[in-house]
Structure 1
Amino acid sequence: MTSIRNKMETQGLPFEQVYDVFAIRIVLDVPESREKLSCWQAYEVVTSLYKVYPNKFRDWLSYPRRNGYQSLHVTVMSNEGVWVEVQIRTKRMDEIAEKGNAAHWKYKEVKKIEHIPGLDTWLNQIRTVLEQESQVSNELTDTIDASPQIEKIEVFTHKRKSIFLPAGATVLDFAFELGTAFGLGCTGAEVNNKLVARHYALNYSDQVKVITDGKQQILEDWLDFTVTRKARSAIKKFLKQEKDRKIARGKKLVREQLHQLHVKWNEETIEQLLVCLDEEKVEDLYFKLGEGSMALQQLKSFPTTPYKTRESRLPRPDLRPFIQDFNGH
């Protein structure tokens, strides 16, 4: 019931649309060399007998989860008209599903070590402790590495390519994993055939198809709903390039306007320009003009006769790079 409730909450589904309330597990006892073939043969039998629910198929056989989990999941309709999830895997895969990576390791080492006394008992004890709802004892807590672990989720492209992302990753993070062009152009996505916004947080095994628009406007608040280094670095790089471009444009506008006003360009002039337009930094002035938040008309109010706003004024070394850069063009 907890699993059903979680699916309803995370996926925003009514109870009627949770199609794997009932599940059947088919466990095959076959040699490891025949596992995949046998699973696909069982899948073929099931899907030939029952109606398959579209877009509910999961191929963990060809694309195992990082914890070693392997299985085929398909949702079919029973003779009574009830949707049932069918899980198909082998005995070896089933033990890995139940006991996790430790069982996976045991199978990988089976050729080197046929049997380790007490291994199964130890695994069961660990599993029992972890599954208890009561608080873990201090003794056990002291033995656990306290360093934070970033949980990973596995999601898929609409072409079934597997992509791993940190928990909390959004559609925008996913888009940047596909490529910078996908990320910068992302307007949203189809997640499990449902339209969602680019800030939508993805869940394990979601199938995602990114929607893009070449005219998309990239804003600084995109950083608020991205968690991957790749996405955040690409966004910051783009925003910096945009800022530099606007500053260069604003600088050009200032140069042209002061030339028309026949105003000599020096440290005193640039300081008076900042005072006249109530700006602290030349870079901010250039940026506002370049992006259009400050009208060029305001530059025309700059006096053609030099003046000082205070009796004495100290030199401003911070202005020199802007003057030198300006005169160098």
Structure 2
Amino acid sequence: MIDLDDLIALVRNYNPRSDADLITRAYHYGARMHDGQMRQSGEPYFTHPVAVAAILTEQQLDDATIVTALLHDTIEDTKSTYVEVERLFGTDIAELVDGVTKLTNLELSSTQSKQADNFRKLFMAMSKDLRVILVKLADRLHNMRTIRSMRPEKQAQKARETMEIFAPLAGRMGMQWMREELEDLSFRVLNAEARKSIIRRFITLQRETGDLVHTITADIRTELDKAAIDAAVYGRAKKPYSIWRKMQEKDLAFSRLSDIYGFRVICENEADCYRILGVIHHRWKAVPGRFKDYISQPKQNGYRSIHTTVQGRDGKRVEVQIRTRQMHEVNEAGVAAHWAYREGKRVKNPFAVDPAKWLASLTERLDEEDHVAFMETVKLEMYTDQVFCFTPKGDVIQLPKGATPLDFAFAIHTRVGNSCVSAKVDGIRVPLWTRLRNGQSVEIISAEGQRPQAAWMDIVTTGRAKTAIRRALREDDRSRFVRLGQELARSAFDQVDRKMSDKALRTAARMLAVPDEVELLARIGAAELPARRVIEVLYPEVAPPTEAEVIQNRPVVGLAPDQPYRRAQCCQPLPGERIVGITYRGQGVVIHTIDCPALEEFESQSERWVDLHWQAGRHAPIHNAALDVTISNDAGMLGRICTLIGERAANISDLVLTDRKPDFYRLMIETEVRDVEHLHLVMTALETESHVAQIARMRDLNRKP
């Protein structure tokens, strides 16, 4: 264990004005509180807080953060209290210790909904003081370094949690070195054999090729000396997990994997960065598509560097990163650069960016999304690389890797995304599902009246776009439900010869404990509340019996005895819809919906019109209704559609494939239903299926009436 003098010396190496007395008091207090406690390894427990503090000294953090590390487990694991810590060390440190304690108690690897809720708490705590997460990350790093003393099942749980949450979080905070170490330590637990295999192959490669890192480093230094550029060159083999991930992503064997070596060139100023790039590209052949300029287009966490991949010795690909010393400090420390000290003063690095802006972008959406949506947003924000694209005016839009023009549109403004109909990338019109690449220029083409479609959820990748699409779909569904509810309610009122009015609906809403008449109509349209229930509460004396069964051969009222009739195939009227009959000599009556366009040709023949309405009561499920359904071309989807219809007690009488594309099928499905409410129940069930892109009731004027 590091003793007190050594810890103070570590702090004073970068902050000579450090408050040694404060650190001394915290060290002794922590040792006293943890006295007698042991780690599972058999070591005194206090070795852990001291090790966490030592990790934070490597990032040159302020005294308050170092003291928090020494005390971070006292409130949770000892008889110490918040009040006592505040009295002895001040409110700032007490708040930090309490924040770390709360993070420790979050079950981040629990069920999805609980995990999402805890993620909210995690980001809220981070938004108050980011030093809380710095201590927590250092705490997790030391625990992973000493994980072998835990039970195997506990090791696996902690390793998965680290791989899924803490490693990506460290990377998103700009601390790439910590991310790589956390990933590799987790990889050692979760897939020890794969890691050993990578290391064995590395050893074999070194025997065959020699020390390529030393050789290539010397080659780069030689070229820089020729150009009289003062710069430091460092080389290393990439971490086993980084190599394993590339093998999995690209489906390549180790022998075919390129750029497993990485080199950094660190110089004094930005101009030298571009001079060094020219030297390297002049000496070695650049690999097309493997150049990124994060100096002109920094990452959101402040990362700046030039990345290029070249063909080195014997055709081996090597990645070279070029940056200034100040850029390198930010790239290594990430968010910690905000609290870094040197010679007793806070370091003001011009390249440091406050990641609180990223946290603010997440936390401002906390109240707008449900648990699952928030979790999805967090993972999309944290776990993806970035691409930079340009608007036609030259503004830069930063997006996750794999983003589409739709993501680009929503990144500009929700209004632009909602009205997007197509896009041009580098002047060429492309499908909305096209994956964008670095440096492309994107023009969004919008149209008034366009609204987001359910199929867009499978196209976009950003949390912002998914949230906006969900919100728009909910609004559209509600409007559609209200309109349908109006028709269903009007039909129910007509059946009992009553006039539907706003006052009547408000009264029914109050009697049914519904907030207002609009919500009442929405629930009727969504099949959550039958329209006849409104009639029952308003006019119980005339309401039709709920369970009365309609005689199948006489479901229509208004026909003469034994007068033959049939439903028009052009509009397929259903019980619950307003209807009218048209007489045909020798053929009886053909029944149409009141709004059927086919009725226009009979406007001047009023003598042929018959006033009809459906018999009140429960109809048998024998009435055909055709649906136009577009589904994604996925295995099992047709069976899933048939199952959903059957689960709603509706029968499929016909099914025709009307159009077939590589990614979508279009179907005509004819179903047998009781009434319009039953049909709407079926359509709602299909609409909620994510693989159903569009659904509509078919009205075919070309079919004979």
TM-score, length-scaled by structure 1: 0.51
Residues 1:157 and 2:388 are matched in the alignment: yes
Counterparts of 1:42 and 1:226, CA distance in 2: 36
Q: For the residues of structure 1 that align with 2:616 and 2:337, how far apart are their CA atoms? A: 82
Partner of residue 222, structure 1: 457
Does structure 2 conserve the Cα–Cα contact (< 8 Å) formed by 1:70 and 1:97? yes
Residue 124 of structure 1: aligned partner: none
**Partners of 2:307 and 2:319 within 8 A in 1:** yes
For the 8 Å contact 2:287–2:311, the answer to whether it is kept is yes
Partner of 1:120: none
Determine which structure has more spread, i.e. the larger CA radius of gyration. 2
1:246 aligns with 2:480: yes
The residue correspondences of 1:206-217 to structure 2 (distance < 5 A) are none
Match of 2:288 among 46, 54, 79: 54
Deviations 1:217-250 (A, max 9, x none): 6229939x8773x435422332133224423543
Map 1:166-185 to 2 at 5 A: 176-180=410-414, 181-182=416-417
1:188 maps onto 2:433 in alignment: yes
Partners of 1:257 and 1:114 in 2: CA distance = 74
| 2:290 partner SS | coil
- Cα RMSD, aligned residues only: 5.2
Q: How far is the alpha carbon of 1:89 from its aligned partner?
A: 1.8
CA contact (8 A) 1:155 1:162 kept: no
Aligned pairs for 1:282-293 (under 5 A) are 282-286=521-525
Residue 310 of structure 2: aligned partner: 76
Alignment of 1:85-234 (within 5 A): 85-102=319-336, 106=340, 113=345, 152=382, 155-159=386-390, 161=396, 163=398, 176-180=410-414, 181-182=416-417, 187-190=432-435, 192=437, 218-219=453-454, 222=457, 228=463, 230-234=464-468
Deviations 1:265-289 (A, max 9, x none): 359x999xxxxxxxxx75355457x
CA distance 1:301–1:252, change in 2 (3 Å): closer
C-alpha distance 266-176 of structure 1, shift in aligned 2 (>3 A) = closer
Q: Per-residue CA shift, 1:260-312, capped at 9, x if unaligned?
A: 98943359x999xxxxxxxxx75355457xxxxx9643335898599789xxx
- Percent identity for Structure 1 against Structure 2: 22
Q: 1:25 aligns with which of 249, 264, 270?
A: 264
Give the 3-state SS of the residue equivalent to 2:469 in structure 1: helix
Which amino acid in the other structure matches residue 457 of structure 2? W
1:236 — aligned with what? 470
> Take 1:111 and 1:173, find their aligned partners in 2: how far apart are those partners?
45
Give the superposition deviation at 1:40.
Answer: 0.7
**C-alpha contact (below 8 Å) 1:187/1:216 kept by paired residues:** no
Shift of 1:7: 2.7
Residue ranges of structure 1 left out of the alignment (5+ in a row): 116-148, 193-205, 272-280, 289-293, 310-329
Corresponding letter in the other structure for 1:246: R
AA aligned to 1:299 is G
Whether the 8 Å CA contact 1:60–1:71 is kept in 2: the answer is: yes
Q: Closer, same or farther in 2 for the Cα pair 1:66/1:248, shift >3 Å?
A: closer
Query: Which of the residues 571, 576, 580 maps onto 1:299?
Result: 576
| Aligned mates of 2:451, 2:346 — CA distance in 1 | 59
CA distance in 2, matches of 1:70, 1:112: 26
The residue correspondences of 1:317-328 to structure 2 (distance < 5 A) are none
Q: How many residues align?
A: 237
Would you say the 8 A contact 1:190–1:211 is kept in 2? no
For residue 76 of structure 1, report the CA deviation from its aligned partner: 1.3
Q: What secondary structure is seen at the aligned counterpart in 1 of 2:303?
A: coil
Q: Distance in 2 between matches of 1:241 and 1:299?
A: 25
Q: Which moved more, 1:295-304 or 1:77-86?
A: 295-304
Deviations 1:183-238 (A, max 9, x none): 6668423155xxxxxxxxxxxxx889989898896229939x8773x435422332
Shift of 1:45: 1.8
Is 1:42 paired with 2:273? no
CA distance in structure 1 between the partners assigned to 2:575 and 2:242 by the alignment: 62
Query: Which whole-Å deviations, capped at 9, do the CAs of 1:37-58 have from their partners, x for residues lacking one?
Result: 1101111222233322222212
Report which structure shows greater RCO (CA 8 Å, sep ≥6): 1
User: Contact conserved, 1:77 with 1:84, CA < 8 A, in 2?
Assistant: yes
C-alpha contact 1:65 1:154 (8 A) present in aligned 2: no
CA 1:216–1:56: 2 relative to 1, 3 Å: farther
1:190 match: secondary structure: coil
Spell out, residue by residue over 1:83-108, the C-alpha distance to the aligned partner (whole angstroms, 9 max, x if none).
211111233433443444445754xx
TM-score scaled by length of structure 2: 0.27
SS of 2:323's partner is strand
Instruction: Give the partner amino acid of 1:236.
Output: R
Say if 1:175 and 1:25 are closer, same or farther in 2 by CA, change over 3 A.
same
The CA deviation string for residues 110-157 of structure 1, in whole angstroms up to 9 with x for no partner, is 698399xxxxxxxxxxxxxxxxxxxxxxxxxxxxxxxxx987455123
Judge conservation of contact 1:155–1:207 (CA < 8 Å) in 2.
Answer: no
Do structure 1's residue 7 and structure 2's residue 246 form an aligned pair?
yes
| Partners of 2:273 and 2:323 within 8 A in 1 | yes
Distance 1:97 1:257, change over 3 A: closer
Q: Which SS does the other structure have where 1:236 is aligned?
A: helix
Tell me if the contact between 1:70 and 1:93 (Cα under 8 Å) persists in the aligned partners.
yes
* C-alpha contact 1:63 1:162 (8 A) present in aligned 2: no
Gap change, CA 1:222 and 1:17, over 3 Å in 2: farther
Q: Is the 8 A contact 1:20 1:75 kept in 2?
A: yes
8 Å contact from structure 1 (residues 191, 209) kept in 2: no
Provide closer, same or farther for how the CA distance between residues 213 and 14 of structure 1 changes in structure 2, counting only shifts above 3 A: farther
In 2: Cα distance, 1:155 partner to 1:111 partner: 36
Matching residue of 1:125? none
Amino acid paired to 2:398 = I
